[in-house]
Amino acid sequence: MPVITVTGGAGHTYRVTVEEGDATTVHDVTVSPEDVRRYAPGATAERLVHASFEFLLARESKESILRRFELPVIERYFPDYARIIRQSTD
């Protein structure tokens, strides 16, 4: 099971480190307050990002996840993201 670490960065960008075995990937994800309200009302941005990486890692390898992206991009690749992420952050 990968270890996901989310740390705040500049502005609304969060650094996500995914560690699994001997390999680590680092990702920068931009999350606006509007994204939090849309996808995970009542949750923190950090919780939304963590849950989003759990969602992504259930569907693809950490190496396949973009290194830098805005959170809504996930929905372009996975149309069910909004519905599933709301349930997992309640």
Q: What type of residue sits at position 53?
A: F
Q: Beta strand 68-70 with 23-30: parallel, antiparallel or unpaired?
A: parallel
Question: For the chain, how many structural domains are there in total?
Answer: 1
The residues with which 68 forms a beta bridge, in sequence order, are 28
pLDDT tens digit at each of 90 positions of the chain: 899 999 986 789 999 999 998 999 999 999 999 999 999 999 999 999 999 999 999 999 999 999 999 999 999 999 999 999 998 887
Q: Which domain holds residue 53?
A: 3-88
87/68 Cα distance (integer angstroms): 25
pTM comes to 0.94
